[in-house]
Amino acid sequence: MQFVLLASLWWLGDHEPEPPTQARLAEQAGADPMMTSQVLRKLEARGLLVRVPDTRDTRARRLELTTAGRAVVARALADVERVDADYFAPIAHQHDAFLDALAKLAAPG
């Protein structure tokens, strides 16, 4: 969950006009808001992000990755991409057929 939240925060931070709120991050990550809050406190304690009060809503917190948080996300994403490439390497020559088969499995009925 920590990876999902950090990666989602990185993505939102680069694609939205202002730092996301905890609620927006939970929504993006498909996570429970209370669990998100607990995990974010731990990540903040590790120096990977900062949570600052929203100037428009005193109940909300805006989130930003720290330099250390960005470094962790960059390393983790590189690891995930490497593992993904290794995992799918045996079917690389059948990429399109594999995606077609997945689409058929996911199709209703």
Query: Is-contact 35 73, C-beta < 8 A?
Result: no
Collapsing DSSP to helix, strand or coil, 76 comes out as helix
**Run of H or E including 50:** strand 49-53
Give the pLDDT of residue 91: 86
Listed in sequence order, the DSSP H helices in 52-108 are: 67-88, 95-106
> How far is the C-alpha of 78 from the C-alpha of 49, rounded, in Å?
20
Give the pLDDT of residue 88: 84
Mean pLDDT by 10 residues, the chain (109 residues): 96 94 95 96 97 91 96 95 90 88 89
> What number does CATH give the domain 2-71?
1.10.10.10
List the chain domain ranges.
2-71
> How far is the C-alpha of 16 from the C-alpha of 47, rounded, in Å?
22
Tell me the CB-side half-sphere exposure of residue 57, using CA atoms within 13 A: 8
pTM of the model: 0.79
Query: Is-contact 36 25, C-beta < 8 A?
Result: yes
